[in-house]
Chain A
Amino acid sequence: MSGGRYQDKEGRWAWRLTGFITLCVYIFMFAPIIATVVLSFNASMFGGFPLTGFSLQWYGKLLSNEQVLAAFRTSLWIALVTAAVTTLLGIITAFALVRFEFPGKATFGTLVILPALVPETILGVGLLVLIKAVDQPRSLGLLLLGHIMLALPYVVLITQARMVGIRRTYEEAALSLGASRLSSFREITLPLLIPAVVASALLAFTISFDNTSASLFWRPAGVETMPTQILSMLKISISPEINALGTVMIVVTVGIPLVGGLILQSLTRLRKRVDAKGNA
């Protein structure tokens, strides 16, 4: 079969139908998001249609909203720390899971991806009940560790998939030439792992930055993260300010991975070019 081309008539019709539904699904996926972005530039003081004119005033208003800025700062640093710590833990865990055989490995492997499968409401309540049982207050540290746990499954899966492709003989060669365990990892394994590291860090950042349900349970009293701030603003009304805020968030969380991916791609290309020159 070459692509979507079919010879018989019913196949052609089925293919057209498939294409049409695919188009509809993509429109369905993006129409609401596009509507939000468009409305953030709307002059109307109500957050909805119809469009009455172009205005940037809602972005200006956003910049002077102290609560929003505080929530943004909180979310930003939690997401940065989550990305750094989770990526580090993910590399170590994936290394152990790929290179080693140890009793309980299969169980551990399942345990690691469990946080991605258990609904956040349950994870949220569970941790809250635990700290209530030991009489501890909710703290930023708790929120941070919670985010790390939520991002961990994805990071381990990404890193593991890449690690499987790195042959252990490279590391063993370095070891047999007298490199220490750590330096063989740093000089051989880590550079080969870089694409997975970057992808993991970006994903962990977005998971933390976007997390809503669990954060509602875990955040300390009086602290808002970006999504919980949006939720509490939505309780009042859909203001055009929220549309502006949403648009800023979309630009941040879509822009960072896209730019990261592009940088990574051009880095790989550059390295290939340098290598090619070096070999010539």
Chain B
Amino acid sequence: MTKGWKLYDPRLAWILVAPVLLLLLLFLLLPIAVMAVYTFFTFVTAGVETSELTLANWTEFLTDSYYHGFLLKTMRVGAMTAIICAVLGYFPAYFIWATNFRHKWLLLLLLIVPFWISFTIRTFSWIHILGEQGLINVTLLKLGLIDQPLQMLYTEGAVVMGLLHFLLPYMILNVYVSLESIDRTLISAARSMGCTSAQAFREVTLPLSLPGLAAGLLLCFVLAAGSYVTPQLLGSGRDALFGNLIYDTIMGQLNWPMGATLSIVLFVVLGCFAATYTRYMGMSQIVKGLGG
């Protein structure tokens, strides 16, 4: 040990976290700061901008309803996805928690397996279900129930479906973690005091699992609203979300100042949701849900 240093000297802690701190400063905080400055730069032509400060990008964003439409649609799709996730995800979480099934670990493992499978593959595999040559259309055609393939792919419904597929495990695991922390004797107590099972659920289990549900909702909303690949693969041009708009502005039009502006907008909007959440619920639930 270095002379004159205490066993758990704060200076040593700083040395230990220095590499990670440096990485996060350079790759996370500095980029966001530079991006914020870039929103005031002047766009000249594709790929060229000057550091002359202007409010043009912000004025354009605030006045053009084209951007508002994207933002609203993204919020709507995000909220819709998060709510459907919550409704559909609560049942499996509850089932895994309450079941007597001996191989409960298997049900949990099956929820984790999708995290290991490439997101791109999971998303495009929906084309085999919803597409013109997909399972549903081919089956319905063969049964003679329809004579034209149904247009299911490249719709907003398909995008939401893909997002649900991606986000359901997050929701289920979050709710499950929250249910696991409930003291089960509370429910027995409620039942023995004369509650019906529905009352016991409504009065005890549901309220105590709300933190996990809230963490799941936030996570699903943020990840859905920030998605890029899903609308790209499963949606038509009209179903593009804010992430696609950012990508096209930067990689397509090479309008960097506007792309930075849009990124900052998305960052601030989603940050507001996250901040509201942490104000009431704190960070710990999210940390647990992410695998801590």
Q: Which residues of A are in contact with B by a Cβ distance under 8 Å?
A: 1-8, 10-11, 14-15, 17-19, 21-22, 25-26, 28-33, 35-36, 39, 46-50, 89, 92-93, 95-97, 99-103, 105, 108, 110-123, 125-130, 132-133, 145-146, 148-149, 152-154, 157-158, 160-161, 172, 175, 180-181, 203, 206, 209-210, 212-213, 216-217, 226-227, 230-231, 234, 238, 242-243, 246, 249-250, 253-254, 257
A30 contacts which chain B residues (CB < 8 A)?
Answer: 110
- CB contact list, B246-263 vs A, under 8 A: 246-247, 250-251, 256, 259-260, 263
Q: In the complex, A158→B225 CA distance in Å?
A: 26
- CB contact list, B109-132 vs A, under 8 A: 110-111, 113-122, 124-129, 131-132
B228 contacts which chain A residues (CB < 8 A)?
Answer: 120-121, 213, 216
A124 CB to closest chain B CB (Å) equals 8
Asked if residues A108 and B1 are in contact (CB atoms below 8 Å), the reply is no
Q: B23 within 8 Å of A by Cβ?
A: yes
Q: Can you add 11 more A-B contacts, CB < 8 Å, to A119-B222, A230-B120? A: A11-B198, A33-B122, A49-B135, A89-B23, A96-B16, A117-B219, A119-B226, A154-B290, A158-B291, A210-B118, A254-B116
Q: Which residues of B are in contact with A by a Cβ distance under 8 Å?
A: 1, 7-10, 12-14, 16-17, 19-21, 23-24, 27-32, 34-35, 38, 88-89, 91-92, 94-96, 98-100, 110-111, 113-122, 124-129, 131-135, 138, 142, 164-165, 168-169, 172, 184, 187-188, 191, 196-198, 201, 219, 222-223, 225-229, 232-233, 243, 246-247, 250-251, 256, 259-260, 263, 266-267, 270, 274, 283, 286-287, 290-292
Asked if residues A21 and B31 are in contact (CB atoms below 8 Å), the reply is no
Q: In the complex, A96→B187 CA distance in Å?
A: 40
Q: In the complex, A49→B141 CA distance in Å?
A: 12
B169 CB to closest chain A CB (Å) equals 7
A245 CB to closest chain B CB (Å) equals 8
Cβ-closest 6 pairs across A and B: A119-B226, A48-B133, A126-B31, A11-B197, A3-B100, A100-B13
Given A4-B100, A32-B126, A119-B243, A160:B118 Cβ within 8 A: no
Asked if residues B32 and A157 are in contact (CB atoms below 8 Å), the reply is no
Main secondary structure of the interface of A (DSSP, over half): helix
B92 contacts which chain A residues (CB < 8 A)?
Answer: 21-22, 25-26
A153 contacts which chain B residues (CB < 8 A)?
Answer: 290
State which of B13, B128, B191 has its C-beta within 8 Å of the C-beta of A102. Answer: B13
Q: In the complex, A145→B291 CA distance in Å?
A: 22
Asked if residues A14 and B198 are in contact (CB atoms below 8 Å), the reply is yes
A32 contacts which chain B residues (CB < 8 A)?
Answer: 122, 125-126, 128-129, 165
A35 contacts which chain B residues (CB < 8 A)?
Answer: 125, 128-129, 135
Asked if residues B16 and A126 are in contact (CB atoms below 8 Å), the reply is no
Asked if residues A29 and B165 are in contact (CB atoms below 8 Å), the reply is yes
Asked if residues A117 and B222 are in contact (CB atoms below 8 Å), the reply is yes
Q: In the complex, A228→B120 CA distance in Å?
A: 9
What is the count of residue pairs linking A and B with beta-carbon distances less than 8 angstroms?
296
State which of A11, A129, A234, A257 has its C-beta within 8 Å of the C-beta of B31. Answer: A129
A92 CB to closest chain B CB (Å) equals 5
Asked if residues A133 and B34 are in contact (CB atoms below 8 Å), the reply is yes
Asked if residues A4 and B243 are in contact (CB atoms below 8 Å), the reply is no
B225 contacts which chain A residues (CB < 8 A)?
Answer: 119
B109 CB to closest chain A CB (Å) equals 9
Asked if residues A246 and B124 are in contact (CB atoms below 8 Å), the reply is yes
Q: In the complex, A154→B111 CA distance in Å?
A: 17
Asked if residues A130 and B23 are in contact (CB atoms below 8 Å), the reply is no
Asked if residues B256 and A132 are in contact (CB atoms below 8 Å), the reply is yes
Q: In the complex, A115→B32 CA distance in Å?
A: 12
